[in-house]
Structure 1
Amino acid sequence: MTERIGVLGGGSWGTALAVLLANKGLEVEMWVRNKSQVDEMNETRVNNKYLPNAKLPVNLIINDDLEKTIHKKDVILLSVPTHGVRETLLNAKSIIDKKQIIVNVAKGIENDTLMRISEIVKEILPNNKYAMLSGPSHAEEVALDIPTTIVSASLDKEVAEYIQELFITPSFRVYTNPDIIGVELGGALKNIIALGAGISDGLNYGDNTKAALMTRGIIEIARLGTALGANANTFTGLSGIGDLIVTCTSMHSRNRRCGILLGQGLTLDESVKEIGMVVEGVKTTKSAFKISEKLGVEMPITDEIYNVLYNNANVKDSVNKLMGRDKKHEMEDVARNFNYNW
């Protein structure tokens, strides 16, 4: 392949994917906003701030010139935090050619508009084809060629398969999925549950608690997802259960680590400052809470995490509220549609 890729964003995930593509021999250029970070990365050939365990290949170009990074590229990899997507695209709009494919790897929902990233891209760049990469994939492990599987999602089958071929390597297996809504929501909403899993760990609760959070969490994710038009089957796959498992159980997960600090008694501001990087689940919790209220979708775990983050609720009180809810049928959504004889 001779494709040329422009990577927007120099965080851990953008860096890991830029390294992966450069190691395949592709022409890769990465835009990093901070000039001092660019200079350091070019001098040391390491992204010390976000991904210190990955050596940057010599053919990976790093700069702070947005226009140069985008110019004459076949694919634009969008790897900035969700809250920065709109600003980045607006700044790049006059530079991006309609033939360039936009591939997003950020996981979140915009707070003010409650839009998914594909919707933001469609609004600003209506003529560009779009794909999303998501799944259980920590940048720290991808950078070390540890076997990883993800999903390439697009409404256009040819685009999904093109991105699949572009990114696939012997240690990075890529599947395709047409359900862009489900893949985006699975990647975004699992961060909320990971915050809860971290809070549970911070409170020194056990495996039983975390298993309950994860299992009931995927129910909430699927419930909101299907209400927004996603296919329920997507949430049983890599971008659903797969991403949920890795984010709730790994110390690579910023969301879990932030939750642990909250469970140990730190404030939200203190916890985020301690992590030192964007914790997507914090903003996503606010978006999901607003959407669930708007649609009348029941999401008790999300509600309690929202109360902890934004209403200063005591974490143990929130756990007690969840445990003390009215008795339910486990498959309550399914049970409404079937007449069980028992």
Structure 2
Amino acid sequence: MSARVAVVGAGAWGTALANVAAEASGSLVPLIGRDREEMTEIAERRVNARRLPGVRLNRSVLPTDDLATLVGARFVLVVTPTQTLRDVAAAIRPHLGSRAVVVACCKGVERGSLALPHAVLAEALPGVPGALLSGPSFADDVARGLPTAVTLAAADEDVAGAAATALATRSFRPYRSTDVAGVALGGAAKNVLAIAAGVVEGAGLGESAAAALIARGFAELARLGSALGARPETLSGLSGLGDLVLTATSEKSRNFSLGLALGRGAPRPEKLAEGAATAGALVALARGHDVEMPISAAVAEVVDGRLSVAEAIERLLARPLRAEA
């Protein structure tokens, strides 16, 4: 039996989305991971104990390492880090059906190419309709059935609407959009800014500084969004400001937790924080469009070890005063 939705990437977010898709469709949902032994264990125990402990898989989720289970799927969710999205897209291409839509479920800017996820898909899968899922969402919340609203964007509104419908449940609400660039940029920039917010918290700079950081960080996002042709309402919506507020205020965010450790001078967390990989690429993308992003630039230098937290704070506070808008 062919699946309506298939998920590539068996991390916490991929597992949560597989459960969502199974609930939404009531049909088979392949959950595809790279490690055969691990996927066999998940299939037997019906729990992804390493990535999403305590959450049982929907009975329609099929854990597997076989990419051939993609054949016939209408919507293929690729839930991998942005830096590996191109390679994964190339790997799944031979298994995609003629009507498949590939949905990138990652947030970042590809290093080297400076491409956002939707552009990576377009280059890696020419002729295959692409879409992007983003917005304020933690895997654990989604897996527990807590109310979550996200944005599902595609250049073709019908594609965006069909993909949103395929994933909609009582508690998981995807809102469609055709502003793919705006949705992609919001997801990429908020991860970098969340690291900065964590630094502010970790360094004990106070709640006033935290509020200023979020506001001025959003101003950076808006400037680059304008240069890329993003719609203001997208940037102030779920996948922009909404995602920034969530990620920049919670220790459940890997990016905020990384910043928290940097601000405290503590060892970095072991879990991957997409913002660390994205920061330098985001700043380079902004420079290519003559857009200044001082907070993001400071994050990039701190993450790479080229600037201390104290030096970054001093540099940002020494910037000349200017009009707010």
Could you state the TM-score of these two structures normalised by the residue count of structure 1? 0.91
3-state SS of 1:151 partner: strand
3-state SS of 2:94 partner: coil
CA contact (8 A) 2:136 2:149 kept: yes
Matches within 5 A, 1:84-99: 84-99=84-99
User: Residue in 2 aligned with 1:32?
Assistant: 33
User: Residue in 2 aligned with 1:190?
Assistant: 190
CA contact (8 A) 2:280 2:297 kept: no
CA contact (8 A) 1:53 1:140 kept: no
- Tell me, yes or no, if structure 1 residue 82 matches structure 2 residue 82: yes
Give the distance between the partners of 1:201 and 1:89, measured in 2 at CA: 37
Q: 1:312 offset after TM fit, Å?
A: 3.1
CA contact (8 A) 1:186 1:221 kept: yes
- Tell me, yes or no, if structure 1 residue 212 matches structure 2 residue 212: yes
CA contact (8 A) 1:16 1:143 kept: yes
Count, aligned residues: 323
Give the distance between the partners of 1:123 and 1:106, measured in 2 at CA: 16
Q: 1:3 offset after TM fit, Å?
A: 5.7
- Tell me, yes or no, if structure 1 residue 47 matches structure 2 residue 42: no
The superposition leaves residues 122-155 of structure 1 with CA deviations (integer Å, 9 ceiling, x where unpaired) of: 1121211121111111111011111111111111
Q: 1:190 offset after TM fit, Å?
A: 0.2
The superposition leaves residues 35-86 of structure 1 with CA deviations (integer Å, 9 ceiling, x where unpaired) of: 2321221222111121113111222100111122x11211111101111111
Q: 1:34 offset after TM fit, Å?
A: 1.5
The superposition leaves residues 251-295 of structure 1 with CA deviations (integer Å, 9 ceiling, x where unpaired) of: 2100001111111113xxx41xx3x33210011101111112222
Give the distance between the partners of 2:76 and 2:50, measured in 1 at CA: 23
User: Residue in 1 aligned with 2:4?
Assistant: 4
User: Residue in 2 aligned with 1:287?
Assistant: 281
Q: 1:231 offset after TM fit, Å?
A: 1.5
Matches within 5 A, 1:153-302: 153-266=153-266, 270-271=267-268, 274=269, 276-302=270-296
User: Residue in 2 aligned with 1:310?
Assistant: 304
3-state SS of 1:58 partner: coil
Alignment root-mean-square deviation, CA: 1.4
Letter in 2 for 1:56: L
CA contact (8 A) 1:53 1:143 kept: no
Give the distance between the partners of 1:188 and 1:278, measured in 2 at CA: 14
CA contact (8 A) 1:198 1:260 kept: yes
CA contact (8 A) 2:7 2:29 kept: yes
Identity %: 36
CA contact (8 A) 1:182 1:225 kept: yes
Give the distance between the partners of 1:158 and 1:96, measured in 2 at CA: 20
5+ unaligned residues in a row in structure 2: which ranges? Answer: none
Give the distance between the partners of 1:227 and 1:62, measured in 2 at CA: 42
Could you state the TM-score of these two structures normalised by the residue count of structure 2? 0.96
Letter in 1 for 2:197: A
Q: 1:185 offset after TM fit, Å?
A: 0.5
Q: State which drifts further: 247-256 or 202-211.
A: 202-211
Give the distance between the partners of 1:304 and 1:258, measured in 2 at CA: 14
CA contact (8 A) 1:108 1:116 kept: yes
3-state SS of 1:6 partner: strand
Q: 1:311 offset after TM fit, Å?
A: 3.9
Letter in 2 for 1:36: E
| 2:317 counterpart (323, 328, 335) | 323
